[in-house]
Amino acid sequence: MLELKEVQAFYGTIQALKGVTLEVNAGEIVCLIGANGAGKSTTLMAISSVVPVGGGTIAYDGRDITRLATDRVVALGITQVPEGRMIFPDLTVLENLRMGAYLRRDRAALKADEAHALDLFPILKERRKQLGGTLSGGEQQMLAIARALMARPRLLLLDEPSLGLAPIVVEHIFEVITRINTEGTTLLLVEQNAQMALQVAHRGYVLETGRVVISGTAADLLADPRVQEAYLGMDMA
């Protein structure tokens, strides 16, 4: 479904991605793990055309989207949940959800999708008339995911969904991630909680300083001593 070949990206003169090559197959959950500054978020933003690609190619369903405008990327079926949630604080929960469907023209189906999004996160149903800015961090993360789903993505890019959240909320978020995948959405997940990410993912890539240094099935990465030592908090000495 998605293929990156030798993708490079820059912030000014600083090279954030140094030839990232990876692929995501339809129906998978693929995770990107690595330390802060490894290039994980930049990879997602390059796919979404938020950060311009300075070299290499990105293909989606065999189509080159390397330099496609962001709104066209979304229209093709790729939606991103950004790090930091970025919900609209002065809009209600329902208004935030409807913003996620901004590019859609099939208005008849919106109510059903809205109901499904609220079914995934029942607390949002209770808060549907509440302003987004008054929600807790966990509720805002749920809203950010629900808003993205309103675009009916085939590929969902999730950036640090567990960041700063209580363990019980993280558990619920990852249960929903698994459910979304089971219902037919492919996911590319950036997550510092490598243990949790690899438990739900099919495959994964480890990024270090803008490069893929290890890749494999989730089971292989969980068993890899290098991954255990660097990202799973296990001392292999």
Distance CA 95, CA 88 (A): 9
- List of domains in the chain: 1-77+153-237 (3.40.50.300), 86-152 (no CATH)
User: Do the beta carbons of residue 3 and residue 58 sit within 8 Å?
Assistant: yes
The pLDDT of residue 192 is: 86
pLDDT band at 106 (very low <50, low <70, confident <90, very high): confident
Distance CA 46, CA 52 (A): 6
DSSP 60: E
**Pick from 42-51, 62-71, 110-119, 181-190: least confident:** 110-119
The pLDDT of residue 237 is: 39
Give the per-residue SS3 of 57-79: EEEECCEECCCCCHHHHHHHCEE
Distance CA 202, CA 11 (A): 31
